[in-house]
Amino acid sequence: MTSAANSVLSSATPGHRARLDDLVLHHEISQFLYAEARLIDERDFHTWLDLFSEDTRYLLPIRRNNVDDEFTDPSGMELAHFDDTKEVLTRRVVRMASAVAWTEDPPSIQRHLITNVEVRRLDDEEFAVHSCFQAHRYRLDRDVEVFTGSRDDVLRRDTNSPLGFSIAARTVLLDHTTLLANNLNIFL
Non-local (6+) Cβ contacts of 26 within 8 A are 117, 119
**Measured from the CB atom, is 31 or 177 closer to another protein?**
177
Other beta carbons within 10 Å of 74: 16
Shortest gap between Cβ of 81 and another protein (angstroms)? 5
Looking at the Cβ atoms of 66 and 116, the one nearer to another protein is 66
Peptide bond into 106 cis (omega under 30): yes
Q: Which is nearer to another protein, 18 or 144 (by Cβ)?
A: 144
Q: How far is CA 88 from CA 3, 49, 61, 95, 115, in A?
A: 42, 11, 16, 11, 27
Least gap, CB of 103 to another protein (angstroms)? 4
Helical residues (DSSP H) of 42-120, grouped into ranges: 45-50, 86-96
As measured in angstroms, the least distance from the Cβ of 49 to another protein is 13
**Which residues contact another protein (rule: CB under 8 A)?**
60, 62, 64-68, 73, 76-84, 88, 91-92, 94-96, 98, 100-103, 140, 143, 177-185
Q: How far is the CB of 133 from another protein (least distance, A)?
A: 16
